[in-house]
Structure 1
Amino acid sequence: MMNARTSLPTQILLSGALGIALMGCSGGGDGSSGGGSGGSGADTSAGVTSGSTTGSSTPGSSTSGTGGDGTTTSGTGGDGTTTSGTGGDGTTTSGTTTSGTGGDPTGGAGTGGSGTGGGGTITCPSTALRAGDTNQTVTVGSRSRSYVLHVPAAYDGSKPVPLVLDFHGLGGSGPSQRSGSPYPAQTDPEGVIMAFPSGLNGPSGPAWNVGPCCVADTDDVAVAKAIVAQIQETACIDPKRIYAVGFSMGGGMSHYLACQAADVFAAVAPAAFDLLEENVGGCNPSRPISVITFRGTSDPIVPYAGGYSSVVPGMPITFLGAKKGFEAWADINGCTGSPSAENGDGCSTYSACQDGVEVTLCTKQGGNHEAGNARVGWPALKRHTLP
């Protein structure tokens, strides 16, 4: 834990951004919060309703328009269940096993429409989502929260695919993160669906609540879970392959979800942010969870060595630092032994951890306040699934 409390230059922090400005990660968005700041009181997971699509379904766009309502209805695709009966071995039709005329009516595993079989645990909607970006909303408690839903051309709805939530930095938005994120280039060919949520306005602009900072009176863990649940209604998502990534303040949200929502997220990949001295003590994930963190040694916003920051008025925080955060995650996940030597991408890994999870720190020598290396991050994430 650090005792040094050297204040970061507030002007640099605001302009270079726990937000998104330094490496072009803010391009293509207006930097405003899609969620707004209306309402008061903490959000809860109760009261989640289906969101609506308000915008073009044209690939790569995220602006609102009037060309159709863009909504997609979900289908049933069969439930893969077995009904009782008195006959034969039974037959399987569209994922539902019917009774025969005598004997054991097990009828085999069956398949749930386009999903996988074995009891129909994953049932793909009968109508596949159209490729492109659409603006979506989900209601959590009394607040409507927005996100950009990205459906790649490779997604055809015939089989379960991973879902990745990608969180923006301080002062950013879902659309700006969609524009600047390095992950779609890696995940699109595999048909992976992504969501880019927008934070609520805090003292320094749109942000995420990670405990001591950086926006109050919102439960953003509940928001993330609600977005996942809503997307699962209309897309064929593998519930064991849901991941969180993020840049800067969004990296902080990814860390926080690993601490607070390991029951939903299989692994996380934060960039340009650390665990905090103020919240590491409350980081008690429900199970071991893989974490791959990207940090630059010359980051002027979140120093590699850690330290005190008062960029958000009234919400000071103390970054653990890249190395101490790496060690903290290794301790949280019950890792033993020493981490590997850095590879060609600057990545060092604790691999002897509980339940086969991994803790990795990728250091970019001379690296600035910048997004993570998705070419490294995505393969690391997809190796891990929920138990």
Structure 2
Amino acid sequence: MRLFPVTALLALLCMLSPPARAQASATCSSEPVAGELRELTSGGRARSYRLFVPPSAGRAPLPLILDLHGTGGNANGRAEKSGLEALAVREGFAVATLQGEDSRWNVPIVSGRADDVQYASDVIDHVSARTCIDTARVYATGFSGGGRMSSLLACRLNDRITAIAPVGGLRWTGPCPGRAVPVLSIHGLADPTNPYEGHADRGGEWVESVPEALAGWASHNRCRPKLVQQERPGPLQTLGYEGCSGGAEVRLLRIDGMGHVWPRTEVDAPAVIWQFFKTHTRR
């Protein structure tokens, strides 16, 4: 399957939002961090995450991307796989790659397990206390279980998370309080683990289909109810909802023949995700 140029995908996504602007900061500053594990306590539990701050860091507030591994993964492996840190060097943003307790995320939420929503919020605080972060430009992405978790963060933490881009893992975890959240989902039609049509027998992890999850977010974002599909031949289709509140677009890149993978050949996932994120800021 051929690589789709980022410029072509931008046209498909119809990203009309104005470029986001950093919140002004006269006092904070950043030092480069070349991918280090950091420790913190969240909800009385010892937790960790991997931090990357690009060499260009200085006094300008940096956007922050929270990146979440799939079930069974870890922060270092995720950082190596995702390609976001390499992109951050060129584009000038920080990356916090989160680490699930026992390599799993607590989504759907189960009592007695770690509160991963609070953990993500604590990571934002931990990073912001040490690095000059633009708190209006904090984003979340992830693969598979990490995509499910980033969906939950958009629902429960949308006063801090600006936009999300789950890959192979979009869920609608509502009803959700608070603001409309821009959503970009990337999903393969041949995904055997998290099937596009939903209804996997895994105790509530993967019930609704991807289109149903997309519709849930469109309703939350008060978009027009009609799903629009771009008329473009080939294995990649862009679908989405228009007229969303505050420009909080809801988009899906659906890829024929793609399985349960973080795509780098079908599409350049980190580049497409960053192009989506950089057009949105939290008002």
Whether these two folds match at TM > 0.5 is yes
1:365 aligns with 2:253: no
Q: Which residue of 2 aligns with 1:327?
A: 215
Report the identity percentage: 32
Amino acid in structure 1 at the alignment position of 2:159:
D
Q: Deviations over 1:137-158 (max 9, x none)?
A: 1111321101110122232x22
1:265 aligns with 2:161: yes
Length-normalised TM-score, structure 1: 0.62
Amino acid in structure 2 at the alignment position of 1:287:
R
CA displacement at 1:317 relative to structure 2: 3.1
Q: What does 1:328-367 correspond to in 2, within 5 Å?
A: 328-342=216-230, 345-367=236-258
Aligned partner (choices 81, 84, 100) of residue 199 of structure 1: 100
CA–CA distance in structure 2, aligned partners of residues 187 and 343 of structure 1: 33
Question: Which stretch of the first structure deviates more once superposed, 328-337 or 344-353?
Answer: 344-353
Aligned partner (choices 162, 177, 183) of residue 78 of structure 2: 177
Mark the structure with the bigger radius of gyration.
1
In structure 2, the CA distance between the partners of 1:133 and 1:185, relative to structure 1 (3 Å rule), is closer
1:382 aligns with 2:278: yes
Amino acid in structure 2 at the alignment position of 1:261:
L
Q: Would the aligned equivalents of 2:238 and 2:252 in 1 still touch at CA under 8 Å?
A: yes
Q: Deviations over 1:125-172 (max 9, x none)?
A: 3xx3134111101111321101110122232x2201100000001001
Name the SS for the 1:135 alignment partner.
strand
Gaps of 5+ in 1: 1-114
CA displacement at 1:329 relative to structure 2: 1.1
Q: Would the aligned equivalents of 1:132 and 1:152 in 2 still touch at CA under 8 Å?
A: yes
Q: Which has the higher contact order (CA 8 A, sep 6+)?
A: 2
Q: What does 1:114-129 correspond to in 2, within 5 Å?
A: 123-125=27-29, 128-129=30-31
Q: What does 1:151-166 correspond to in 2, within 5 Å?
A: 151-155=53-57, 157-166=58-67
Q: What does 1:2-41 correspond to in 2, within 5 Å?
A: none
Q: Please, what is the CA RMSD of the aligned residues?
A: 2.0
Q: Would the aligned equivalents of 2:52 and 2:95 in 1 still touch at CA under 8 Å?
A: yes
Name the SS for the 2:129 alignment partner.
helix
CA–CA distance in structure 2, aligned partners of residues 194 and 129 of structure 1: 13
Name the SS for the 2:223 alignment partner.
coil
CA displacement at 1:183 relative to structure 2: 2.5
CA–CA distance in structure 1, aligned partners of residues 36 and 206 of structure 2: 37
Q: Would the aligned equivalents of 2:74 and 2:99 in 1 still touch at CA under 8 Å?
A: yes
Name the SS for the 1:223 alignment partner.
helix
CA displacement at 1:216 relative to structure 2: 4.6
Q: What does 1:306-321 correspond to in 2, within 5 Å?
A: 306-310=198-202, 315-321=203-209
Gaps of 5+ in 2: 1-21, 264-268
1:251 aligns with 2:147: yes
Amino acid in structure 2 at the alignment position of 1:210:
V
CA–CA distance in structure 2, aligned partners of residues 342 and 184 of structure 1: 31
Q: Which residue of 2 aligns with 1:106?
A: none
